[in-house]
Amino acid sequence: MNSATDISIDLQLPSLPEVTLRALEACHAGESYRTISRLVATDTALIARVLALSNSALYRNSPPIRSIEQALLRLGTHRFQTLLLTSSLRQLLLELGGDEWQQLRDFWRHSLTTALTAKALATLTRYPDPEEAFLLGMVHNIGELMAIKTPAPDRRQEILNRQNEIAATLVTRWGLGAMAADAMRYQQAPPAQLRDAGHLVKLISLATRLALSDSVGISAAGTIFGLQEDLTREICSNINHEVAGMAASFGVPLDTLYDSGSGSKQLSQSLIRQVMTRQSLELMATGTADTLHLIASTTGSLTVLTGLPSLCFGPDDDGLQLLSGTCPDLPDLRLAPESGTSVLTEAFNTGKPVHLGERNPSVLDQQLLSILGTPSLMAIPVVFHDQSVAAFALGRYADDAENTTTLTQLFASQLSLLIDDRQSEQTSIDTDIANDRLRRQVHEISNPLTIIKQYIYQLRSRLEDSDLQADLDIIQEELDRASYLLLQVSSNEASSQDTRETDLNSELESLSRILRDSLFSQPERTLNLQLCPEPTRVQASVSSVRQIAINLIRNAVESLDGHQGDITLRTNAPIYQNQRSWIELQISDHGPGIPDAVRRHLFAPVTSSKGQGHSGLGLSIVKQLIDDMEGIIACHTGQEGTTFRILLPAAGHKKNDTD
pLDDT of 117 reads 95
What is the model's pTM? Answer: 0.49
Is there a single domain that holds both residue 552 and residue 655? yes
Q: Among 620, 653, 624, 648, which Cα is nearest to 508's? A: 648
Is there a single domain that holds both residue 417 and residue 539? no
- Amino acid identity, residue 4? A
Q: Tell me how far apart the alpha carbons of residues 44 and 46 are, in angstroms, rounded to a whole number.
A: 6
Average pLDDT rounded to a whole number, residues 125-138: 93
The Cβ of residue 461 has, within 10 Å, a number of other Cβ atoms equal to 8
Q: Tell me how far apart the alpha carbons of residues 203 and 122 are, in angstroms, rounded to a whole number.
A: 7
Number of domains in the chain: 3
pLDDT digits (tens, 9 = 90+) for 185-222: 999 999 999 988 999 999 999 999 999 877 888 999 99
Indicate which CATH number applies to the domain containing 602: 3.30.565.10
Strand 502-503 relative to strand 537-538, pairing: antiparallel
Residue 239 inside a domain? The answer is: yes
> Which residues make Cβ contacts (< 8 Å) with residue 428, sequence separation at least 6?
none
Which of 235-239, 372-376, 435-439 is predicted with the least confidence, judged by mean pLDDT?
A: 435-439
Residue 554 inside a domain? The answer is: yes
Helices (H), 211-260: 215-225, 229-250
Is there a single domain that holds both residue 136 and residue 209? yes
* Whether residue 129 has pLDDT greater than 70: yes
Indicate which CATH number applies to the domain containing 297: 3.30.450.40
* Whether residue 648 has pLDDT greater than 80: yes
Q: Which of 389, 424, 459 is the last residue of a domain?
A: 424
Residue 614 inside a domain? The answer is: yes
Is there a single domain that holds both residue 123 and residue 240? yes
Is there a single domain that holds both residue 297 and residue 245? no
Range of the domain at 591: 500-659
Q: Tell me how far apart the alpha carbons of residues 43 and 41 are, in angstroms, rounded to a whole number.
A: 6
Strand 525-530 relative to strand 565-577, pairing: parallel
Q: Which of 424, 449, 468 is the last residue of a domain?
A: 424
pLDDT digits (tens, 9 = 90+) for 265-309: 777 777 666 655 555 555 454 554 567 787 887 787 777 667 678
Is there a single domain that holds both residue 300 and residue 176? no
Taking the mean position of all CA atoms in its chain, how far away is CA 150? 34
Average pLDDT rounded to a whole number, residues 589-600: 83
Q: Among 412, 435, 301, which Cα is nearest to 354's? A: 412
pLDDT of 497 reads 43
pLDDT digits (tens, 9 = 90+) for 513-550: 777 766 776 777 888 999 999 999 999 888 788 878 88
Is there a single domain that holds both residue 134 and residue 37? yes
